[in-house]
Amino acid sequence: MTTPETPGAPSRAAANVPTDTRTDGRSDGTASARFVNTLRARPGAIRLGAPNEPTITVRVQMPEVWDVVRVEVPPSEPVLSVKVRALQALYPEADFHDEFVLKLHGWEVLDENVSVADTGAVSGSTYLVTHRQRRPVR
Average pLDDT (4-26) is 49
Class of domain 33-131: alpha beta
Most confident of 24-28, 39-43, 50-54: 50-54
Cβ neighbours, 10 Å, residue 94 = 16
Q: How many residues does the chain have?
A: 138
Of the candidates 28, 24, 78, the one whose C-alpha atom is nearest the C-alpha of residue 48 is: 78
- The mean predicted confidence, pLDDT, of the chain is 79
> Is pLDDT above 70 for 94?
yes
6/17: higher pLDDT: 6
> Is pLDDT above 70 for 113?
yes
d(CA 35, CA 31): 7
Which region among 16-25, 76-85, 121-130 has the lowest average model confidence (pLDDT)? 16-25
Q: State the burial class of residue 131 (Cβ atoms within 10 Å of its Cβ: 0-12, 13-18, 19+).
A: middle
Residues 10-47 as b/e (b if ≥16 CB within 10 A, e otherwise) read eeeeeeeeeeeeeeeeeeeeeeebeebbeeebeeebbe
d(CA 60, CA 85): 10
Residue partners of 2: CB distance under 8 A and separation at least 6: 19, 20
> Is pLDDT above 90 for 102?
yes
